[in-house]
Amino acid sequence: GENVEQHPSTLSVQEGDSAVIKCTYSDSASNYFPWYKQELGKGPQLIIDIRSNVGEKKDQRIAVTLNKTAKHFSLHITETQPEDSAVYFCAARAPWGSARQLTFGSGTQLTVLP
């Protein structure tokens, strides 16, 4: 089955700086890669996703890049703000007809220092 590795497990940045979280996946058939943000005491919430037919996607201060050859993808947050502090999870899913559940990484605790 799919295996997703996520690094780093914790990340502290100064407000205004950028944050980068990296993930690798094992199943070359995976074609959908979402990122979820989990605030304290809440369930994870989708913030951005990318499909395997594109290499980069942006939404305001967040962007995700995908390298299918290397089987890794990254989340980039620019101009970080205190409200970006949360746990971030990457995930991967194999195509329709295979296992349909998302396989999540182990999470990154991001702390934005004021």
Partner 1 sequence: GAGVSQSPSNKVTEKGKDVELRCDPISGHTALYWYRQSLGQGLEFLIYFQGNSAPDKSGLPSDRFSAERTGGSVSTLTIQRTQQEDSAVYLCASSLLDRGGTGELFFGEGSRLTVL
Nearest approach, Cβ of 4 to partner 1 (angstroms)?
8
Decide whether 68 or 78 has the Cβ nearer to partner 1. 68
Residue with structure tokens 């991001």? 110
**Residue ranges in 41-100 that form contacts with partner 1 under rule CB under 8 A:** 41-46, 49, 51, 89, 93, 95-97, 99-100
Q: Which long-range contacts (CB under 8 A, 24 or more apart) does 40-46 make?
A: 40/86, 44/89
**Secondary structure of residue 77 in the 3-state scheme:** strand
Nearest approach, Cβ of 74 to partner 1 (angstroms)?
17
**Secondary structure of residue 82 in the 3-state scheme:** helix
Nearest approach, Cβ of 7 to partner 1 (angstroms)?
12
Decide whether 44 or 73 has the Cβ nearer to partner 1. 44
For 9, residues 6+ apart whose C-beta sits below 8 A from its C-beta are 106, 107, 108, 109
> Which of 111, 112, 92 lies closest to 103, judged by CA?
92
Nearest approach, Cβ of 43 to partner 1 (angstroms)?
3
What single letter denotes the amino acid at residue 92? A
* The binder of partner 1 chosen from 8, 82, 101, 113 (CB under 8 A): 101
Sites of contact with partner 1 (CB under 8 A):
6, 31-32, 34, 36, 41-46, 49, 51, 89, 93, 95-97, 99-107
